[in-house]
Amino acid sequence: MKVRQYLFSLLFGLTGSAMALGGYALFSKNDPYQSVANSQNAAIARYARYAPDGSVNFTTASAIATPAVVHIKSVSAGTASRDNSRRGSDAFGFPFDFFDNFDMRRGPSQSAGSGVIISNDGYIVTNNHVIDDAEKLEVTLSDNRTFTGTVIGTDPSTDLALIKIDAKELPNLKFGDSDKLLIGEWVLAVGNPFNLTSTVTAGIVSAKGRNINILDDRFKIESFIQTDAAVNPGNSGGALINTGGELIGINTAIASQTGSYAGYAFAVPANIVRKVVDDLLQFGTVQRGFLGVSIQDVNANLAKEEDLSVSRGVYVSGVNDNSAAQEAGMKKGDVIIKVEEQTVNTASELQEQVGRHRPGDKLKLTVLRSNKELPIVVTLKNQAGTTEFATKERTSSLKDLGAEMESVSGQDKKDYDVAFGVRVDRVYAGKLRSAGVREGFVITHVDKTPVKTPTEVAKALEGKQGAVLIEGTYGKGNRTAYAVMF
C-alpha cells in the first residue's frame, strides 16, 4: 500500500512538474530575460567542470592548455630600438616584455612573451608586439625543448602574429567560439608572466567588445574580451581558455599605471584570431573587407540630437564615395543594429564582425532609418575600393631591404598626396631599418626612377652597389629621402 502511495505521489509530482515546466516554457517564449537565462544554462552545461564538493574544477582545462602554451624569447639587435610609448597611453600598458640590462642603442635587447600552439606541426599564434623587430625567436615548449621560430605573417591591426617551429606531434589547442562567451563566465589565462613558465590564473569574463585605444594601426580592430584573470608582463600572446579547455582569446594587454596587473586584462577574441591565422596561412597577408563608413557609438545625447528611437547601436556619420556602403544604399544617419543575426551595440563590435570577412563577402546588415528597421546587403571591398584580394610581394631584393610592401591604394594616394608609390607595411632587420626607414613610408622613387609596385622597387635595385637614394613621404608635406647602402 505504501509503495502504491509512493508511486502515485511520484507520478503526480512528475506530472505536475511537467505541466509547470510546459506552462513556464510557453510563458517564457517571448521573455527576453528567460532567453538570457537559457543561454547561461547552456553555457554552464557546455563548459563547467565540477569537483566532488560542487566547486568549479579547473584542473582538466589546465591540463589541456599548459602543454600547448610556449615561452617566446625575442632577441633584437642594438640598433633596433623599440617604441614603448604605447605603455603610457590612457593608462593602459602592454603586458608583454621585459628588457635585460643592455642599452638597446649599444647592445642586443631581449624580450619575452607567450604563444599558443594551434596545430600539431608547429604553428604558433602570439601577439605582434611580442615578436616585433625580432631578429631571432627562441621558442621553449612546456617540456623544455627549444626551437627557433620563423615568422609566417603578422597583423598589426589586431596585434596578432603567426610563427612556426620545425616540430611534429605537438600538443595544441582547439579554437572555441568567442561569440558564445557570457559575461561572468569562468576563464583561465595561461602563459609565462615574469618568466615563470606554465602559469595558470582564473577569473571571469568582465566585459566584451572593449575598445581601449591601445593599437596604433590605421585599420586597427579593438574588440577585446575583458577579464579579471591575473595577467602580467610575459603573458602576452598566451591563451585565454574556457573551462572546457578551448582557446577563446589571445591575452594582449592590461589596464595598469605601473605595468603590472591591476585588476583588468584584455584578450583578442578567438573568432578574430582564427580568421587572421587562416588569412596568413592562405595568402601571407590579412584580407580585410571594409564598409567604407564613418561611425560612432549611439548614446543618450546622440539619440536626443538625432531623434533616434534607440540609445544603442552604431551611428553612420558619413559614407565614403565608391564604398561598399554607398553601393548598397546606406545613408548618413543610419543606425546599424545587426550584422547578420548578431546584435551590435558599439562601433568596436561592428568592427569585429566586419573584420572577420574578406573583400567580396556579402553581409546582411540591419539598420534603423527614420526609426524603422531596414535590411541592407553589402558586398565588402578592400582598401582600393575593389573586391580583389591583397598580395604581398617579397623578392630577394626586398628581403635584403627587410620589408613587406604593397602598392598604394586610392585612399592612400589621397592620404599621402601622391599619384603613385609603394607603402612599407613592415620593416624587419635589413637595409631599410639600418637607414632609418619606418613603417608607413611610401617610396615614390629609387635613384630618381619612379616606382609603382614592389616588383618595380626590386627591379630598380637590381645590380646596385654603394649608396642608393630612396625618396618618398610619410604624409602630406613630409617628403623624405634616405641613402641606403648596398
Catalytic residues: 129, 159, 236
**Alpha-carbon distance 96 to 235, whole Å?**
6
Kindly report the CA angle at 455 between 450 and 457, in degrees rounded to 5?
40
Query: Which residue's C-alpha cell is 591591476?
Result: 262
Distance CA 228, CA 116 (A): 20
* Separation CA 335–CA 295 (nearest Å): 9
Residues 100-107: contacts with CB within 8 Å, 24+ apart? Answer: 102/78, 103/78, 104/76, 104/78, 104/80, 105/78, 105/79, 105/81, 106/78, 107/78
CA-nearest of 295, 390, 401, 302 to 347 is 295
Which of 244, 231, 236, 243 minimizes the C-alpha distance to 70?
A: 236
Q: Which residue has the cell 540609445?
A: 311
Q: Cell numbers at residue 271, please?
A: 573568432
CA separation for the pair 483, 486 (Å, rounded): 10
